[in-house]
Structure 1
Amino acid sequence: MISMLGLIGGLILLTVLVMRGMNLLIVAPLSALFVAVLNGVPIFPQFAAEGEVDFITGYMDGFAGFITSWYLMFLAGAIFGKVMEDSGAAESVSHWIVSKIGMRNAVLAIVLACAVLTYGGVSLFVVAFAVYPMAVSLFKEANLPRRFIPAALAFGSTTFTMTSAGSPEIQNWIPIPYLGTSPYAGWEVSIITAVFMLIFGYWWLMKMIRKAVQKGEHFIERETDNTEVRTHLPHPFLSTIPLLVVLIVSFIFHDSLAQSALILALTSGILATWLLNKKYFRDFWDAVGEGTIGALTAIGNTAAVVGFGGVAKITPAFHTAVDFMTSIPGDPLIGGALAVMVIAGLTGSSSGGQSIALPILGPHYLDMGVNAEALHRTVSMSSGTLDSLPHGGYAVTTIRSIAGETHKDAYPAFGAMTVVVPIVTVVLAVILFSLGIGI
């Protein structure tokens, strides 16, 4: 009982401290320490019995293991996003989308710009950095409350694109080695759920924004807003080619190189951006440097909560929770979805949650005869739900570091788009797979 209270209490502590604005790199190990103490986990290696895992080892194994597995993908994705931004290619694509759908649909323009960049292989964190300046400009011109910008960025980046079939994002690639699938697993259901998520989420987001406007909320400028307007941009067609290169290269090599195909694809995207848009760069190597720093920030925040998960998973309470989740009666896809949701929620990371859950859950469900493609798509989508609780690395980075908002102002809409909408969609996916669609 105490061990379970420690696990739940540690997660609550992590959430509360993050909501109060504390640094995730500090509060994650502190919260993990709370979990370890209440679960009787030795603090130092010297205090652990033979074969027993201690707090420091458990935390650093999770932290360092995630960085070892995913750093090059984060790095390539962040640099790709930065060179797309520095060359003006990302802005060119965004402006083209705005020109086609009109300023009246400013929020939709932001969502679609994020979606195009995300599905083109740009890291989620970098997409938020790249599109945020355009979002500020559009929200200012449309006089919309800026506290909804994080929700618009996240909705376009982490929902109907991040976990959809064919997406180059790592959330769609992590299940491959565990389930023997491809990034296009369950594509028929994925198309249906992506369309549903886009329509339902956009309708709800606009309803919240209109309600706030009716109450008198409006755009408030800040001294830190970047007012620079670039007039010399590459052609939208040329700007789209690097995105297509990422998708094509990842498609060609995903069977032979598995996850490494994504590193090759993103590197190819960087080279394509440089070759096609050389004359538009402000400073190519400066963009590479900024991308590197962005990658370290993004993977550091994520690894911090994976370290929390690394401590959580060595506790008796965690094993009790996993045993309960994997023994849920009924459709195994429901049990798998719930298990990944909870573990991703405990770790505060979709990618970290999958990395912890799949080695345990993958063999279990495959031995039960669960369709691997259905499990891949369900697990991928499920990981993108409770990972976006207030303590999640992406939530903290987007709301606080990028948009400069508080959780109190921005998280209600952010959580609606990144937690509630995906959960409803996971339910739809399980129903469709249960009806035999796509399997």
Structure 2
Amino acid sequence: MLGVIGIIISLGLLMYLAYRGITVLILAPILAMLAAVFSGDIPLLASYTEVFMKSFAGYAKAYFPLFLLGAIFGKVMDASGAAKSIAHFIAEKLGKDKAILAVVLSCAILTYGGVSLFVVAFAVYPVAAALFREGNVPKRFIPASIALGSFTFTMTALPGTPQIQNAIPMPFFGTTAWAAPILGLIGAAVMFGGGMWWLTTRSKKAMAAGEGYGNHKEEIKEFDLDKLPSFAAALTPIIIVLVLNYLLGKFYFGNMDGSFLEQYGTTLSKVKGIWSIIISLVASIVVALIIFRKNIDNMKETINQGAYGSLLAIINTSSEVGYGNVIKALGAFALVKAAILAIPGTPLISLAASTSILAGITGSASGGMSIALGALGDIYMQKATALGIDPAAFHRIAAMACGGLDTLPHNGAVITLLGITGLTHKESYADLGMCTVVIPLCATIVAIVAATFGIV
């Protein structure tokens, strides 16, 4: 019982101290060892060097290429002006009276094409501010609009998205990024439709009451439209990512003899999805560098900045995974695991619950899902086989569930987004939370119901 109390205290401190701004690079190992002290069944230093660091290294080994290539691709799209070109084109076509929809769609296209969430926020914000100001839409709805387009359906639900949240389940369930496409589309429709309804209704009500864009101190760097690449050119690398990812996973690696992988202790089903995304991103980066060579002032510096920017993201998430695996190794975790698996109904419910709760505690969608699947992934795969449930359903539900409670107020992406837009939690979090927490949780429930009827 003392061990369970230790786990609860450790998790509580992780949430609170992360919200207070202390990096998980320090918190994760210290609080993991705190839980080990309460449990008393694992040597303290061994819990750090043999469990925490081994899990840390294993996660970095598996996913660092995706973090690295995604960050470089995003930096190229940003530095070249391609991201702004897409946002400006959509905004221009929809008009100022569709400011919210224009921002959501701009973010959605960029995120679905593999541009990292943070790059999208930085790239789209200047366009969003100009559009909202012109339409006199209250600025406080900008964070929720950006988040709806980049933190929700394109991150977790739409089949084929190269975001890391869609890649993590692949080795556990032997799936690709296109797993459970119908479930994904159902979830995406609920998130997009629900979010747009909420933001449209709320903004119209605020404007009817006389609220406008407002007076804000803004330091927004103006961009020269004449120097931006064309919309068609900007969209080309994104199309390559999606199409090549699908073709490689479905046809090339799908028909490959993977017996040679036995010497490496893995199987083709565990790596084909990640391999497909790696090749797709490399190809897109090369094409983007060629197409945008005249738009990028310093190509070497752009690539270097993207590479450096990937390091903190992968190290933070690896630390959270290391923390989770220490908790998993404790004897007290058996009680926690039993409680999770005892949740009544389809195992999809317990998978969604554990993933979403851990994502909320860690403040990270990828970190929470990695911890949940690292601890319970093999059990859910066994359940899928025993109950005749398509593993693709587990993939999609896990991905969607991680995008619910992850964006509670202490989430790093939320704090960064509010910082970029110059707004506070008090001003914007109610709408942001509705679009990124409440509605995605409802979408996950809808998808679970659909999956119980065999829809994948």
Shared fold, TM over 0.5: yes
Deviation for aligned residue 1:274? 1.6
Counterpart in the other structure of 2:269: none
Residue 258 of structure 2 aligns with which residue?
none
Q: Match of 2:226, SS?
A: coil
| Conservation of the 8 A alpha-carbon contact between 1:29 and 1:304 | yes
1:135 to 128, 131, 156: 128
C-alpha separation between the residues in 2 aligned to 1:431 and 1:206? 28
* Number of the residue aligned with 1:75: 68
How many Å apart are 1:385 and its aligned residue? 1.6
1:426 is matched with which residue? 444
TM-score by length of 2: 0.85
Aligned counterpart, 1:377:
396
Q: Is the 8 A contact 2:15 2:361 kept in 1?
A: no
Aligned-partner residue type, residue 226 of structure 1: K
The answer to whether residue 309 in structure 2 is matched with residue 294 in structure 1 is: yes
CA distance in 2, matches of 1:315, 1:262: 35
Residues 300 and 398 of structure 1: CA distance in aligned 2, closer, same or farther (over 3 Å) = farther
Describe the shift of the 1:204–1:129 C-alpha distance in structure 2 as closer, same or farther (beyond 3 A). same
Retained in 2: the 8 A contact 1:348–1:392? Answer: yes
Aligned counterpart in structure 2 of residue 149 of structure 1, from 129, 134, 142: 142
Q: How does 1:338-377 map to 2 (within 5 A)?
A: 338-359=353-374, 360-361=376-377, 362-369=380-387, 370-377=389-396
1:173 to 162, 167, 177: 167
- Report if aligned partners of 1:121, 1:169 keep a CA contact under 8 Å in 2: yes
Q: Which residues of 2 match residues 6-405 of structure 1 at below 5 A?
A: 6-40=6-40, 44-45=44-45, 53-55=46-48, 57-163=50-156, 164-210=158-204, 214=209, 216=211, 218-222=213-217, 224-255=219-250, 256=253, 257-359=272-374, 360-361=376-377, 362-369=380-387, 370-400=389-419, 402-405=420-423
C-alpha change, 1:395 and 1:14, in structure 2 (3 Å) is: farther
Between the aligned partners of 2:398 and 2:348, the Cα distance in structure 1 is 8
Cα pair distance change 1:172/1:93, threshold 3 Å: same
Distance 1:204 1:8, change over 3 A: farther
Q: Distance in 2 between matches of 1:407 and 1:30?
A: 29
Query: What do residues 45-82 of structure 1 show as CA deviations (whole Å, max 9, x unaligned)?
Result: 2xxxxxxx424654434443332222221111111111
Q: Secondary structure at the match of 1:162?
A: helix
Per-residue deviation, 1:261: 1.6
* Maintained 8 Å contact 1:165/1:186: yes
Equivalents in 2 of 1:121, 1:413: separation in Å?
Answer: 25
CA distance in 1, matches of 2:26, 2:225: 38
2:127 & 2:445 partners in 1: Cα distance?
A: 34
Displacement of 1:24: 4.4
- Structure 1 220/24 Cα, relative in aligned 2: closer, same or farther at 3 Å? farther
Which one is further off, 159-168 or 216-225? 216-225
Deviation track 1:12-65 (CA, whole Å, cap 9, x = no partner) reads 3333333334444444445445444444476742xxxxxxx4246544344433
Query: Where does residue 5 of structure 1 map in the other structure?
Result: 5
Amino acid at match of 2:371: I
Contact 2:352 2:401 in 1 (8 A): yes
Give SS of 2:159's match. Answer: coil
What is the aligned partner in structure 2 of residue 49 from structure 1? Answer: none
Counting aligned pairs with the same residue, the percent is 40
Gaps of 5+ in 2: 254-271
**Mean CA deviation greater in 429-438 or 208-217:** 208-217
RMSD between aligned alpha carbons? Answer: 2.7
Deviation of 1:126 (Å): 2.5
Distance 2:31 2:410 in 1: 11
CA contact (8 A) 2:161 2:177 kept: yes
Q: Measure how far apart 1:84 and its partner are.
A: 0.9
Displacement, 1:165? 1.3
| Matching residue's letter, 2:14 | L
**Which range moves more in the overlay, 254-263 or 32-41?**
32-41
CA-CA distance at 1:211 after TM superposition: 5.3
Contact 1:298 1:393 in 2 (8 A): no
Residue 429 (structure 1) shift: 0.6
Instruction: Tell me what 2:264 maps to.
Output: none
Write the deviation string for residues 315-369 of structure 1: whole angstroms up to 9, x where unpaired. 3443322221123232222222223223333443322333333342333322432
**Matched-pair contact (CA < 8 Å) for 1:19–1:407:** no
Instruction: Give the whole-Å Cα distance in 2 for the aligned partners of 1:246 and 1:235.
Output: 18
- Deviation, 1:174, is 2.1
CA contact (8 A) 1:139 1:219 kept: no
Equivalent residues of 1:390, 1:407 under 8 A apart: yes
What is the distance in 1 between the residues matched to 2:29 and 2:48?
Answer: 9
Contact 2:25–2:319 (CA under 8 A) maintained in structure 1 = yes
Q: Matches of 1:412 and 1:121 in 2, distance apart?
A: 28
Q: 1:146 to 1:123 in 2, by over 3 A?
A: same
Q: Which amino acid in structure 2 is aligned with residue 178 of structure 1?
A: F
Q: Distance in 2 between matches of 1:397 and 1:302?
A: 17
SS in 1 for 2:154: coil
Q: Does the 8 Å contact 2:132/2:213 carry over to 1?
A: no
The CA deviation at 1:100 is 1.7
Q: Partners of 1:424 and 1:60 in 2: how far apart?
A: 36
Query: Given residue 150 of structure 2, which amino acid in structure 1 is its aligned partner?
Result: S
| Post-superposition offset of 1:216 | 4.6
CA–CA distance in structure 1, aligned partners of residues 278 and 326 of structure 2: 29
In the aligned structure 2, how far is the partner of 1:356 from the partner of 1:263?
23
